[in-house]
Amino acid sequence: MKPRLRQGVLPQLIGYRLRVAQQAVFRDFAESVGGLSPGRAGMLLLIEANPGVPQGRLAEAVKLDRSTMVGVVDSLEDRGLIERRRGTDRRTNGLWLTRSGRVLAGRLRRRIERHEGRVAARLSASERAQLIALLEKLGQ
């Protein structure tokens, strides 16, 4: 019979609501997609959509330091999902999906679609569109 905690101003803050919503969505992602974290899964899909992208450009796109990207790319490469290939500018590594990376990317897209359906089930179609538009105004 514990009284609920007083929340103070928190529930009226955009940042707080974002954090709580994201935690809920991430939990569903882990359950219904699994295998890769949302961030890593997103990178795999970005590489799929941009074959040969230099890893520095990918780091820039997802706002990671390029030294951080080294470990991320290492782990995807260790799992046999992508490979580095020396670029024309020989300082760069182009990133390419392997065959099994392509297979996983396809499976991820299907599972993410299902996950998205579960998350969006709490919203009407127009609410979902509205939410995405509003989030787009914040992000960047």
Partner DNA sequence: TATTGTTATACTCTATAACTATA
Partner DNA sequence: TATAGTTATAGAGTATAACAATA
The angle, 0 to 180 degrees and rounded to 10, between the axes of the packed helices 99-120 and 38-49 is: 120
- Cβ of residue 125: shortest distance to DNA, in angstroms? 30
Q: Residue 95 is inside which H or E element, if any?
A: strand 93-97
* x/- letters, 96..135, toward DNA (CB under 7 A): ----------------------------------------
* Minimum CB distance to DNA smaller for 59 or for 104: 59
Task: Select from 63, 99, 122, 137 the one that contacts DNA (CB under 7 A).
Answer: 63
Site track for a copy of itself across 29-68, x = CB under 8 A: x--------xx--x--xx-xxx--x---xx--x-x-----
CA distance 71 to 74: 5
Q: Report residue 107 as tokens.
A: 């499976």
Strand partners, 140: none
Give me 140's structure tokens. 């960047």
Is residue 123 near a copy of itself by the rule CB under 8 A? yes
